[in-house]
């Protein structure tokens, strides 16, 4: 699933922030923050890492982590995950 993330970039100095601001904190210009939408797709590199694999939901990622520390093998968790998908 594609994850859409937006950020705000100052059109004057290029300062980036996660939330909109009326005034750029970097160059102090008003109304220069422009929203930019970034679509973060299932990045191959990210997909190999369990901790950052949030294609399903964040909740799922958390539960996997718990299982991993309480129970056993990483391999077990991994195969379970593959079946789920």
Chain residues in the site for Zn ion (CB under 5 A)? 10, 12-13, 15, 24, 26-27
Q: Which helix (H) or strand (E) holds 19?
A: none
Give the tokens for residue 66.
């718990």
| 33/64 with CB nearer Zn ion | 33
Task: Classify residue 59 by burial, with Cβ atoms within 10 Å: 0-12, 13-18, 19+.
Answer: exposed
| 23/41 with CB nearer Zn ion | 23
Q: Are 52 and 44 in contact (CB under 8 A)?
A: no
| 15/67 with CB nearer Zn ion | 15
Give me the least distance between CB of 40 and Zn ion, in Å please: 24
Give me the least distance between CB of 12 and Zn ion, in Å please: 4
């Amino acid at each position: 699933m594609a994850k859409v993330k937006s950020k705000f970039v100052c059109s004057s100095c290029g300062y980036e922030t996660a939330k909109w601001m009326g005034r750029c904190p970097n160059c102090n210009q008003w109304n220069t923050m422009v929203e930019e939408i970034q679509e973060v797709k299932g990045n191959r590199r990210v997909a190999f890492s369990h901790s950052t694999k949030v294609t399903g939901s964040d909740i799922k990622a958390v539960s996997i982590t718990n299982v991993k520390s309480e129970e056993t093998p990483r391999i077990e968790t991994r195969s379970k995950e593959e079946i789920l998908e």
